[in-house]
Amino acid sequence: QKEVEQNSGPLSVPEGAIASLNCTYSDRVSQSFFWYRQYSGKSPELIMSIYSNGDKEDGRFTAQLNKASQYVSLLIRDSQPSDSATYLCAVIYGNNRLAFGKGNQVVVIP
């Protein structure tokens, strides 16, 4: 089982719609979860961190964590063309080792 899995293929959403991204992880004891955004040719940029079960909102982004199901998600509300990027789910394993999913490409269509 992969440490972090993001199984969805590229996601195309119309401008103004909600983009929903999902991620599962394998280690039950993980406590720290992050979403990074990576534009083509650029490095990953941290957009959300979440540590407790439930929802965390930051602007148009909402992260959701369910530790019992080992599941973390990211919602992007009112999607904008500037949100077109690859979104990487990351989980801390052990002592400060980040494991990443393969990423989900989001394309926002004007």
Partner 1 sequence: KAGVTQTPRYLIKTRGQQVTLSCSPISGHRSVSWYQQTPGQGLQFLFEYFSETQRNKGNFPGRFSGRQFSNSRSEMNVSTLELGDSALYLCASSLGLGDGNQPQHFGDGTRLSIL
Q: Name beta bridge partners: 45.
A: 37
User: CB–CB of 60/48 below 8 Å?
Assistant: no
CB count within 10 Å of CB 81 equals 10
The per-residue DSSP string of 49-103 comes to EE-SSEEEEETTEEEEEETTTTEEEEEESS--GGG-EEEEEEEEETTTEEEE---
User: CB–CB of 41/86 below 8 Å?
Assistant: no
59 binds partner 1 (CB under 8 A): no
79 binds partner 1 (CB under 8 A): no
Nearer to partner 1, 44 or 108 (CB): 44
103 binds partner 1 (CB under 8 A): yes
Residues 9-48 that bind partner 1 (CB under 8 A): 31-32, 34, 36, 42-46
Nearer to partner 1, 43 or 82 (CB): 43
Considering only 1, 69, 82, 95, the residue that binds partner 1 (CB under 8 A) is: 95
Nearer to partner 1, 69 or 95 (CB): 95
Nearer to partner 1, 45 or 55 (CB): 45
